[in-house]
A = this chain, B = another copy of it.
Amino acid sequence: MALMLYDLAGADEGRRFSPYCWRIHLALKHKGLAFQTRPWRFTEKDVIAASGGTTVPVLEDAGRMVSDSWKIAETLDAQYPDRPALLAGGAGWQHARLTKHWVEATLFPLLLRMLVKDIHDRIHEKDKAYFRASREKRFGQTLEAFAAERDAVRDQFRLALTPLRRLVTEQPYVCGAAAGHADHIVFGAFQWARCASAYPVLTEQDAVAAWRERMLDLFDGYARGFPAG
């Protein structure tokens, strides 16, 4: 049985916009593993209960479900050691882990403010009440208030990208001459924006946008092939 990735989808089941799931899309391509995806909506907790978690990505391999994008990457390296490594222990692990924390602590809060209204508009009807209630509880305000002034948030976001911009000005990828799992992790953030919204988070002149194009080109344009905007 092929590997199965449970993947967050919108009302249109082709719309795949989870930044965490995108890490695993590219991780599986990086390892050259064949896989299928199954669209999953926020409220389908029962479908992935066997993973022990309540969110995707979940990867099912030979009947076993694994939850959490970092744990999935470690599991893939352990299960398929003959394939190109994602983390491989040591400094590669550390590089990806620092990148993960930077992306999640610095970029995600700003992206969420820019994207949350568009996400709400694009998710399945059955998810909308859950999504609004859970997010408004977390934010302590309405989605609309949380999402206000996104142009100002975008300015902060572009400034926060400075370390990444410097890195991909010096070399093609976050991992150097070739893309690695740290690239997958950062790219997940941009694919979240691309597949959940038409709002342009980067200018076309930005070196980060050039890197994003290189990522979209990987694996015969795999990520580019998904519905965007």
Contacts and interface: CB of A to CB of B under 8 A. Distances in A.
A215 B77 CA distance: 32
Nearest to A94: B95
Given A91-B90, A98-B98, A105 B175 contact: no
Interface of A: 88, 90-95, 97-99, 101-102, 104-106, 160, 162-164, 166-167, 170, 174-176, 180, 182
A167 B92 contact: no
A71 B157 CA distance: 30
A98 B95 contact: yes
A163 to B, nearest CB: 4
Contact of A101 (B91, B166, B175, B180): B166
Given A98-B98, A98-B174, A98-B182, 10 more contacts: A90-B91, A91-B94, A91-B175, A94-B174, A97-B170, A98-B167, A101-B163, A101-B166, A105-B162, A105-B166
